Structure 1
Amino acid sequence: MTFINKALSVAFCLVAFVAFGQKETQPIPLGESITLESTILNETRKINVYLPPYYQPNDTVKYPVVYILDGGVEEDFIHLAGVFRVNSQPWIDRFPEAIVVGIENVNRRRDFTFAVPNIDFLDQLKYSKDFFPQYGGAEPYAAFLEGELIPYIDQYYNTTSERTVVGESLAGLMSSYLLIKHPLVFTNYVIVSPSFWWGEEKLLDETTMCLLNKIKHPVNVYVGLPSKEEDEMMYEVGTRFYSFLQQNPMIHSTFDYMPEEVHATVLHQAVHNAIKKGFHKK
């Protein structure tokens, strides 16, 4: 290479460095994280909050709230906040603009399971008991939602009384538990692939039927299930739960079977489908 070619090569590198070497970045706003000290749970909980694009703290406009039980940043908060955001855009208008609250997990197997005398039933299901060193915390968790988290969100954000809860798998079990045991806390329920096998299907007994039939105010419930080829038992108990819902005219229920989805992939599609089907409208 001649001296002139070398000089041109060096000059080109210097120009490229000047043009591309100084990168300017700005963070993309998605939401905010808060830390909530729970007296009921006796632990610190991280809460992630997405706010609508034109949200103003001092504005008079108020928004419904969506609560995601598996709501950590590394869980379902980011992708589900996106689903609710895109469906609330004016040219789509399938769901109202909403505040989305993601509850980051500490111990979901403890928090999302109701109390049982023992866990011997896991042997029949071929689940290891080691997976559940702690369990049965559904009632304290419900008290945390109703007594601490929701009042906190209502105090510091511009909220309406319309609340949606989203849960899949064990979180789907917890969402069902809230509907059955605490039906006044939420307006809308997105229940996906719920783990009704917990406690030998205790949440699907005659007591549950009686409690569901006692609901006297309108609620909207979406039940989404993945392929029964993967887990026929989960499909069977999910459809049985849906049949319970249909017996009460105050419960507007939507059923969605997704044979192309499996347990690991169903949540995102289910939430999109729930909104598309207008599950929250009666």
Structure 2
Amino acid sequence: MSDEPKQHTLTGTFRMHEKVSSRYLESEHDVIVYLPPGYDEDAERRYPVLYMQDGQNLFDEATAFAGEWRLDEAAEQMIGAGLVAPLIMVGIYNAGAYRIDEYTPTRDSAKRAGGNADKYGRMLVDELKPFIDSEYRTLTDAANTGIGGSSLGGLVSLYLALKYSGIFWNVAVLSPSVWWDNRFIVRRVRALGTQPPLRVWLSTGTEEGDGVVAGARRVHDALVSKGWVVGDSLHYQEIEGAGHTESAWADIAPAMLGFLFPASR
């Protein structure tokens, strides 16, 4: 194994906010902000925003745990091709040892952990989003605000979008950890009254294991039973040969951005 440090691979314009604290959480989070092409040239234009979990894995090989999503390259490519609306992306670094607790809505007795997603959500909604809206030229309404992630990050993103459906209307749920607390998130969807106006990208890979694929199918079925329509408000995909890896999520990042933030919208 090479001892050489990994090279930075950031593409585009970024701002970094380090050790962002919260009155709701014990942890601090680094926050990396991607700004779209032309952001500094047009001082009047405002942009939609996508908040993503596991921010250290999104843009930069040097900070990624096991490879990066290349989400910056995906955005630059799709914006340049006129397929995605120029947008701001906010990567919230996970807090290491606090990740499981903050990304899970309930305590799982089998894991003896979890259950701080509500506090994490308060940080995001009450503190981070207002800060981003004040610091950058954002479109602040729910129709122009998204949330997303993979694995436990996908779980917490769907949970918080359902809880704060007046704030997030665009949701990226990649390879979600549906298994958490005996499929709590499926029960949460089924318990909905009226269908909130969310556009949901839901995907999984066929090489993630039968349990992961079955979990994604259960979420799909629950969403459809509540009124989501595949091809309209819901994108559902089982990606042949894809595993539970950053490289697999990188492969579908352009399409995910195109579904949630199309240039033609």
TM-score by structure 2 length? 0.80
Partner of 2:77: 86
Are the structure 2 counterparts of residues 29 and 263 from structure 1 closer, same or farther at C-alpha, using a change threshold of 3 Å?
closer
Partner of 1:143: 122
Spell out, residue by residue over 1:46-82, the C-alpha distance to the aligned partner (whole angstroms, 9 max, x if none).
1101111211398110000111111124238772122
Aligned partners of 1:119 and 1:30: how far apart in 2? 43
Are the structure 2 counterparts of residues 189 and 103 from structure 1 closer, same or farther at C-alpha, using a change threshold of 3 Å?
same
Alignment of 1:24-39 (within 5 A): 30-35=13-18, 36-39=20-23
Larger Rg: 1
Alignment of 1:75-114 (within 5 A): 75=64, 79-89=70-80, 92-106=81-95, 107-114=98-105
- Structure with more contact order per residue of length (Cα contacts < 8 Å, sep ≥ 6): 2
Partner of 2:35: 51
Partner of 1:238: 216
Deviation above 4 Å: which 4+ runs of structure 1? Answer: 279-282
- Are the aligned partners of 1:190 and 1:223 in contact in 2 as well (CA < 8 Å)? yes
Residue 201 (structure 2) pairs with residue 222 (structure 1): yes
Spell out, residue by residue over 1:236-263, the C-alpha distance to the aligned partner (whole angstroms, 9 max, x if none).
1101111222234466001111012111
Residue 131 (structure 2) pairs with residue 152 (structure 1): yes
Partner of 2:169: 187
Aligned partners of 1:104 and 1:62: how far apart in 2? 24
The aligned amino acid for 2:38 is Y
Aligned partners of 1:219 and 1:114: how far apart in 2? 19
The aligned amino acid for 1:186 is F
Q: Which runs of 5+ in 1 are unaligned?
A: 1-26, 123-128
Spell out, residue by residue over 1:17-73, the C-alpha distance to the aligned partner (whole angstroms, 9 max, x if none).
xxxxxxxxxx98631101322112144321101111211398110000111111124
The aligned amino acid for 2:194 is K
Alpha-carbon RMSD across the aligned residues, in angstroms, is 2.5
Percent identity of equivalent pairs: 24
Aligned partners of 2:261 and 2:28: how far apart in 1? 32
Q: Secondary structure at the match of 1:246?
A: helix
TM-score by structure 1 length? 0.76
The aligned amino acid for 2:49 is V
Post-superposition offset of 1:270: 2.6
Q: Which runs of 5+ in 2 are unaligned?
A: 1-9
Partner of 2:5: none
Are the structure 2 counterparts of residues 141 and 62 from structure 1 closer, same or farther at C-alpha, using a change threshold of 3 Å?
same
